[in-house]
Structure 1
Amino acid sequence: MNLFNRILLIYSVIQILKSDPINRNIIIDGNFDDWLNVPSYSDPRDNINGTVYQESPWFPSLKIPDCHDAHTKIPTDMPKHTYNPNVNIIEFKIAHDDSSLYVYYRVVDNGVIGKTSVGSDKFNRSDPSKPSAGRFYIIATVNLDMNDTTGYWLHEGGYYPTAPGFDANFEIEFYNGTYNQGYYLDHAANNTNETKYTREENIQNKLAFRPAYYEYYTEYVYWRQKPTQDEIKRCLDGPYELPSPYNNSYICFSQDLAPGPYNGIVTYALSAKGNELEMRAPFQGFLLNKDTGLPTLQLGMTVNISLSLETTPEYSIPQEWASDTTATIQYTLSER
């Protein structure tokens, strides 16, 4: 493929959303009427036969099953088709107001976002009928500096179609039948030592930007008031009160399967049917840009955003981790 055609393909797959007016009408309450006038994007509707594909502009010869396993992490390898209606995104939207980023997911009618099995232990491949404690992740990842050399490639986390440059995530984790935590990730490390350094920067209210590999990141729950005493007792590392300019703001470093629930500033709501979810991430949780000292995410910026749903094997065919990732959207946070 020549360079011109490659550029055209990248342009066609990274969909560009024109700057929209601030939307001050969205309330995280499970009533989705406030999303009706927000631009909508579609994602392929997967089928059990695995004949629905996506592609990445960086690897255009690779046909990627729409829903797939979550352990293929080499960009030139095709992930295995894994059917799960609970992660089968068919529509998504992005919006913002003066202080927060919002995302909307809709899966197929027979899917339920956040659905997990309930049990006393993790999934056992040798005894798959045994009740297990399932997990489900609602993921939004952002290329904040629009620099493809910082952050991570999506495929490093098992997410396809891949794209480079993602610096930070905001996510919700469901575990063992219930909400567990909402948190942010800072992807600015390639090894354990760099991760420790990133942690120290986060405690100083700074979000770092460096080349990264997916497995090395900091994960923190953010509060705009002191966590409850129960949350403090269960906090794995912290909580740490952040320095100015924000008063009474705290972070607790967390991890998957943490002893939640933690009720920080990342919030969500589900539809009554369960196949729609809205999530809010205040800009404040992205801390301050380490290099500029300014808020990392603010009005006027243009960013790339990719959304994913991911879950453990219990309800998948075959019984593997299952994931679905949308096209990357270029989004401008207009000031009015």
Structure 2
Amino acid sequence: MNIRKIYLSFINFIFICSYSFGQNYSVSGVNFDEHIYQKNPIEVLKSKYLNNQGIPTHEIFLKNNGIVKNIISNEIIPIFKITIDKKQISYSNNKINEIKLAEILNVDFYIQRIKKYKSQNSAENIWDGRVYLENNNLIVGGYSSKYNERPVGKIDLENNFIRPIEQQFAEQFPILNIPPDEILFDPFSFKLLQITQNSNDIVEEKTDEYLPIQISNEIGNHLQNMQFDILIDEKGMTLILNAKVSDQVIKISECKILESDIIDVINSYRPELIKGCIQPGNGEIETFILEGKFSNRISLVNDDIVIQEIKTISTEYENLEVIKSDIEIDGKFNDWHNVKGTSDFKGDRISYLYPNPDTDLLEFKVTNDDKYLYLYSRVVGAHGRTGDKGRYYWYAYIDVDSNPNTGYSPTRDDNCYFGIPIGDDCEAQFEFIGNKFVKTFFGFSGVGAEKEVLEGKLELGPSFYSATDRNGNKRDKYKIEYVNRDGKRYITHDYTEGTSEDIIIALSADASEVEMKVELKGFLKDVNGNPILSKGSIIDIAVGVEASSDYYNSDDWGADSSPVLYGYKIK
């Protein structure tokens, strides 16, 4: 699938930068390798922000750049979310009047943090570029609708953005429209920030955090391995969030359904489905966002949610270990509440893309059992919503060898625009067209093409996304999409209907969440007969979503990607 038009040839772009990122390159006569740092430049930059003990800290970085938040108020609101058939509930004046609790299709919980503060300067994330380390230089890659990602400057050892590219190219690279002195690299979070004077105006910052949430004990230790469970008390007409900590079950929050304020009511999206995808409920479905209350065992201390009077328990935990959970692909999602994942910013997008809520990723999770890989994502809007003639694509990008030079780069390939700095060797995917679920399928990117996939003799190596280059010439290394049916493999193409029998997905009743079950053997074997993915494999994995915005009456596409989950071990 090529949804993007390349307007200038690579020859025209040669004056801006070299396409070969592994070599030295020159931009407008400035050699980026003129100064090879003797030390890691990240550590050099961090060393400029030392506290009184001589330790580099993020707090000092923020203070030195005038980003100290003088807190005016800090509120944490517990929120419950229920999805139900419209016929099973009545409401008015911001309250629910009647509800058949047994008919609830899905129940969820999250917290909303509302922070108000004053600050000398404000700092906004820059989504139109990223910083990466190459040859001990900190290179700034800029995103462009015409060129995808290309190097547009560097960060020097004084944390200045050096931009040798001429201003005339700013229209192709939105990041170049930002004044250089407003661009700041945060070496602690590895993010690019735009710093502007704030005149000490009051700023309100809202963030949502989904289960599993972080909770502390009274001495400030984060409690790990907590197991959360949402209960429906039909007699008391109450939703309850409990947490099991060691051998203790503690009520965290509750919501009295007939008394709580309705924050929002959302009409759910119901696509046409074929075999391979399920969604609970029938007819018109509504989602209600309700304000809850913390229990009397909970107190709020600065940014922490604290459990009072809890027994002393061990807080030791391996942060990279994901709790193994039994997942059922049923569209209910309560079995994902205790699986840790990665969070993505709400509203993050490259400026030339449409702000499509259906592609705005919020969460990505992964777990597995002996046979299947299980994947999960949450978006602001609805997965698969396209409008009558639109398209919607969901990708799980998997780097099986931690080598960015095998597979293709979702960040730099001439047919992609995802900020995912890994080599995409294989994929699990699904596709919607015209508000209809079309298929689930696999992708392989490596040496060879259809013949190798059909024979199951796969070899990792450099590849491209598309089978042809910008001049229409056929490539011999490109991504192949295939399905498995009745023990046979078939090549599939864009718009081709029919699912792979070893990939099943389920949408939540409101389609904001999706879960996928992928059989490990569906990723096939290498030329030596070894499975590409199996128990013990260590992978880097991320999710990307892209869609046309026909539903929103826009000709522009929307797209987003999750942060990469590095080093996930198939257990």
The two structures have a TM-score, normalised by structure 2, of 0.42
Distance in structure 2 (CA, Å) of the matches to 1:12 and 1:284: 37
For 1:252, which of 484, 490, 496 is the aligned residue?
490
* Residue-by-residue CA offset, 1:202-258 (whole Å, 9 max, x unaligned): 1222332110122121110113xx2xxxxxxxxxxxxxxxxxxxxxx1111001111
Deviation, 1:11, is: 9.8
Tell me the CA shift for residue 150 of structure 1.
0.7
CA contact under 8 A between 2:393 and 2:546: conserved in structure 1? yes
Map of 2:482 onto structure 1: 220
Is the 2:399–2:426 contact (alpha carbons within 8 Å) kept by the matching residues of 1?
yes
2: CA distance between counterparts of 1:271 and 1:168?
A: 26
How is 1:238-249 mapped onto 2 (pairs within 5 angstroms)? 249=487
- CA distance in structure 2 between the aligned counterparts of 1:283 and 1:250, rounded to whole angstroms: 15
Q: In structure 1, how many angstroms separate the alpha carbons of the residues matched to 2:370 and 2:188?
A: 28
Are 2:385 and 1:115 aligned?
yes
**Aligned pair partner of 1:67 in 333, 336, 349:** 349
AA partner of residue 368 (structure 2): H
Whether 1:27 and 2:278 are equivalent positions in the alignment is: no
- 1:78-137 Cα shifts (integer Å, max 9, x gaps): x614200111111121111111111111111xx11101222xxxxxxxxxxxxxx21111
Greater strand proportion: 2
- 1:266 partnered with 2:548: no
User: Structure 1-normalised TM-score?
Assistant: 0.70
- The answer (yes or no) to whether the contact 2:386–2:549 under 8 Å persists in 1 is no
CA distance in 2, matches of 1:17, 1:171: 28
Partner of 1:149: 405
- The whole-number CA distance in structure 2 between the counterparts of 1:103 and 1:331 is 15
- What corresponds to 1:204 in structure 2? 455
| C-alpha distance after superposition, 1:174-195 (max 9, x if no partner) | 1122111111111115xxxxxx
Q: Counterpart of 2:343? A: 42
SS of equivalent to 1:86: helix
Aligned AA (2:363) = E
Residue 17 of structure 1 contacts residue 331 of structure 1 at CA under 8 Å; is this kept in 2? no
Q: 1:139 aligns with which of 379, 387, 395?
A: 395
Q: Give 1:316 deviation, angstroms.
A: 4.9
* Aligned with 2:362 (options 75, 81, 90): 90
Retained in 2: the 8 A contact 1:17–1:332? no
Give RMSD over aligned pairs: 2.6
Counterpart Cα distance in 1 of 2:465 and 2:188 = 25
Shift of 1:29: 0.8
Q: Is the 8 A contact 1:67 1:84 kept in 2?
A: no
Q: Which has the higher contact order (CA 8 A, sep 6+)?
A: 1
The CA deviation at 1:328 is 1.1
Supply the distance in 1 between the matched residues of 2:319 and 2:510 (Cα, whole angstroms).
29
Q: Distance in 2 between matches of 1:12 and 1:204?
A: 44
Give secondary structure in 2 for the equivalent of 1:288.
Answer: coil
State the identity as a percent. Answer: 29
Between the two proteins, the alignment pairs up a number of residues equal to 255
- Runs of 4+ in structure 1 off by over 4 angstroms are 6-14
CA shift at 1:67, angstroms? 2.7
Q: Does the 8 Å CA contact 1:134/1:314 hold for their aligned counterparts?
A: yes
Aligned to 1:158: 416
Deviation per CA, 1:34-92, whole angstroms, max 9, x where unpaired?
1011003210100xxxxxxxxxxxxxxxxxxx234xxxxxxxxxx61420011111112
- Say which SS state the counterpart of residue 419 (structure 2) adopts: coil
Unaligned runs of 5+ in 2: 1-35, 43-131, 139-185, 192-317, 467-477
Q: Structure 1 unaligned runs (5+)?
A: 47-65, 69-78, 119-132, 190-196, 227-248
Determine which of 64, 72, 80 is the counterpart of 2:352. 80
Amino acid at match of 1:135: R
Q: For the Cα contact (< 8 Å) 1:20–1:334, is it kept in 2?
A: no
The structure 2 residue matched to 1:285, chosen from 511, 522, 526, is 522
**Equivalent residue, structure 2, for 1:121:** none
Q: Which digits, 9 at most, give the CA deviation of each residue in 1:139-175, with x for residues without a partner? A: 1010011122111111224233231311111100111
| Partner Cα distance (1:331, 1:95) in 2 | 13
Alignment of 1:5-20 (within 5 A): 5=42, 18-20=320-322
2:321 & 2:536 partners in 1: Cα distance? 9
